[in-house]
Structure 1
Amino acid sequence: MTTNTRAWRWGQLLALTLGALSSLHCVELPTKSYSCSSAEDCQGLSGPGGVSYVCGSGGWCEAPAGSACPQASTPPTCSTSNWCWDNPLSEGRNLITVRGRSATDIWAVGERGIALHWDGTCWARILPGNSQQLRAAWPAAGQTWWFAGAGGSLLTWDGANWTSQALAEQVTFHDIEGASGTSAIAVGQAGALYTFNGQQWRPQSWDAGTSPAPDLLAVWPVSNTEAWAVGRNGTVVRGVDGGWSRVSNPTSVDLVAIAPGADAGTAYAVGRGVLATYANSTWTASSFATSTTPLNGVWTSAGVTRIVGPASNIFVLGSATPEPSGTSQVLNSIWGNDTSLWAVGGSGSIVRRAGGQWSEFPGGVARTINAIWGTDDRNLWAVGDQDLIMRRVDERWSPAAPPEPGAFRALWGSGDTLLAAENNPTATGGSNGKIHLFQNGQWTPSASFPSNGVNAFWGTGLAPVWAVGTGGLIRRRDEAGTWLTEGNPNTASAQFNAVWGVPNAEVWAVGAGGAIFRRDVSGSWVSQRPSGATELFGVWGTGSRDVWAVGLNGSAWRYDGTTWTQVSTGVTQTLRAIAGRSTDSVWAVGDNGTITYWNGSTWMPQVSGVSENLRAVWVTQTSVWVAGANGTVLRLPL
């Protein structure tokens, strides 16, 4: 069975990088321990939202129930097999637009009716109750917000309730912007253009010169009497004193966003590989980046204009060097003020710029997760691609500063120590593996393998711990913290993907080509590859006579102490990981959202509710946790 050690000192884990955490907007934890036995142990501790912690029933300092995020959040979506979304808050739906009224009143909206609200403390999911795509948000007078998207409906939020207003036209709206709380413009499909006078929305006409008129994709009101709208094929429409007319197209590329420039009388509109500039009463267009670079949003703040779109970078006009976005996702929209900028995008990614840097924000982490480890549901960690190390804090997955930039593949922990494995590609196509150790308040290098990647850990406490990987890598960490070489000529050519063992007994490592090696109590590694086995990615068991290995095309093999036997899993997708809590309660996860469950006699496919590739599974006493691509984390309550 999976054994978890609860004696974790969370505060010490990130003490070394408080400065880096502040600049990266990662979870900040003080040097005081987060384990507790009384209320006094939690004095002076608080969460990201500033809520003072109490000593919870699980023996950990935490926010009081219901107070971690002051906003009431719509419960997560759960599949028919009861797998519930835990990250991102958007539940994998793309966020299309972010807009705000102030630093404490911001909305991000997107696919299938997703709507997230920031109150200055945390992001919360506050859904309107329909599945229509939301593409636009605008703060009207008072606390009122208007939202629009597909289906010809306009939605309002008054600070407590949603209401809808149907229009005569069943059109998709792409944008809403206003010059004041009582004056706004909505644009959309087939040239749809509506104005708002504080009481009602009225359709406006303009001569497109074609039928149907081109879609209008974005609008910028200069004032209550002047506005610009842009759209398909470089369409530009100007509104003055209630009249609308088309001007010469500066480009044939779709213009998808528009914003004022830093100087009076200037504006920018962007499309794929194109920047259109309005200055001296004229629109001109120029190539920007490459012809295929997605330019999805533009915003000017504090005299600086930024453009979002391509994964990993945010362009700054006037600068030859893009700003790292802090996410691997394409960004669709940007908004903010002089001190804080927000951008949102693919798979529900949310990034914020403060202190001069961009980083993913709690609830908006959308990088690929490769491994999960933890002691219980209140104390879970995950690692993944693009520098990802994160912890679940106050029911939000929050990024933490890594020991160094890199792709983290494996994770293990016990007591006051964490082990994280980093793999980076080499110039020759191989992997450079590193193991980082956190102990006594700081990260330090534990081991480096210039020619081998580290793919997995398993151990008993901190010693022994086995690390396996590419190029036949097998290392064992002893009580002194030394990583000792194991294996033999037979294991040297193996590519290991996973490792698991029985405390004080055998250990199994599995990998490419159906490789299965068993380490006996004498320390000898012997091949047990069964005939017909192909690529294996996961291994787990309950004891020496009950071990499972899973892999390519849904394959599964079971070891009874003597023989490995293939067992049908009922799925054909590749299985990437396996874990359980008993001989009749085992989960295997894999590509395209695949989850299958062993009930003691047969494997039963379950409905995950997601299509992302799943790469990790971890079992606590009360939950099963699954994670994978695009920051996906699912929870199955037990």
Structure 2
Amino acid sequence: MDGAVETVSRRGLFRGNFGARSEAAQGWYSVDGLPAGADDVFWDGWADAHGLFVVGDHGAINHFDGEDWVRQPCPAPVPIHALWGTDRANLWAVGWMGLILHHNGEVWSQVRGCVVDANGKYASVQENTPLFDICGGADGRAWAVGDRGRILYFDGADWTVEDSGTRAHLRAVVILDDGRVMASGGDGTVLMRDLDGSWQALDCPVASNFTAALALPGGRVLLAGGRYFIQANGFQGDLVMWDGEGFEKQFTDMEFSRFRALGQTGKGVVALGDAGQIHLIDDDRADRLQSGTGHDLLGLVDLPSGDVMAVGDYGSLLVGDSAALTCFAPAIQSGEDPSNWSEMTSGTDRQLWGIWHDPKQDMLFACGEEGTVLALDRGKWEALPPAGALGIHDLARAPDGGLLAAGQLGEIHHFDGTTWSKHFDLFMDVTILSMWSDGCGQIFAVGDEGLVLHWAGANWERMPSGTKSALYGVWGMDAEHLLAVGDFGQVMRWNGTRWDEFNAGTEHFLFDVWGRSLSDIFVVGLSGTIGHFDGARWHITPARARNDLLALTGTDTDVVAVGAAGAAARFDGHRWHMDPTGTTAGLRAVAVDGAGRYFAAGDGGTILFRDAE
């Protein structure tokens, strides 16, 4: 899988959709490890061979040194909008209230802006005019632009104000190959600074609010932005090319969301913006790429590898090449023994979607397509009568000691040891994907469209979950402490009274959840996502399995996760290791018996066995 979650759901995975995607639809990958969440907005960054800076609201300056993310002290708690520098010992940042910061290789110091009055509030003075972009040359000279036509020039020693001749808000500034400087902003405003230092307005016929500019070979400049259209009830994006003489709007037959940033890669120009929009532009083509997020993307960071990183709302950090992830986290270590798992004869070629261990009887059951239910009896898998004609996704113990099987169309079937009977019917095309029982008569089931069902002893009742997103997995410590996981890092928490929503610190879909206690909980998901909750906060493991991980479980001493293309990973209490399975079949479920032996089930009736260590 390529990490392109815009068109992927676990329901699709359950149906065997593991096929490759076209080049135009390639996905972007979330960079995990930076503690960030819904309140974090990142605007820009800067990178060299020694590390990466990412800046944003509330004076956020986050630095990655090759191993860990550290938030560095900022002299002023205001949004930082842009970074530029010749090297990390000469790095500049600009932001709200005219803030200008300088990094000397060790600390950040405030140079201008954020002037306060006698009451300790930011003063209404010219120096506090917000700044939004900065660019410079190898000689150390730089320009910063902002509201009300504000342009500042750095000559290598001091910052001075230059007369722009406009009161339009300026949002982008770029240096051309011949040394001239172009600034752009609201209502189609485009200014050019000649070599003699004077700014002149250019006649741009496209009245867009430009937010980004990119200098291209041949003296050309690509401008990007957007305008509000009443008919569309929203912003639409514009791409405009300046060829040295005039302006021409690009891709007039296409509709875009508002653009926020432009960047250059070996594959072409990358343009990104609102609602997770990312386009790859190559000559006369503009291909929409799958970002895996619906959040606004606000900035692009050039990486030493030649790739770029996208940053934005909700702490978004994305890279366009999976290989770039190795800059931020190594792959999970490979296992040493390729024969840890052994294949068992299941007696079926149907897709298996669930496997469950009954702790009371210490028995294992598997389930899947066309009502398939298997039982492990004296080391051999035997087929039970089909639980209806539809797919079964999970199993649980019934209150009377029988077996419950739930799946497609919201059906739940009951097995009394001889025959199956309908236990519940939702009468909707909504699939039940996971169940959990406290062993004392309370059962919870979750599924598509935020479905939550509850059995408390008399009948099944549908509970308001507070979400319309699919819930793929559910786990509980007891009937008053449950977690269910779903789309875009969503975690729903049941406290015995109501369901509340929060995020696990990732934008990837989460497919399963399991824990030992309320302060030791694991989640797994798309593109090898692994997260852990320690009782205080979520930590996304900065090691990636690359393949989607669809299920996990564990014991007091270890945790095992399985997923696409036969992927399995094992946590030994210290670190995660890849655990070779000897198969390329997708593994969709995993269970562990009372003796610590693991069983995984998946495509084509595959069932694997791993002995206890």
- TM-score, scaled relative to structure 1: 0.41
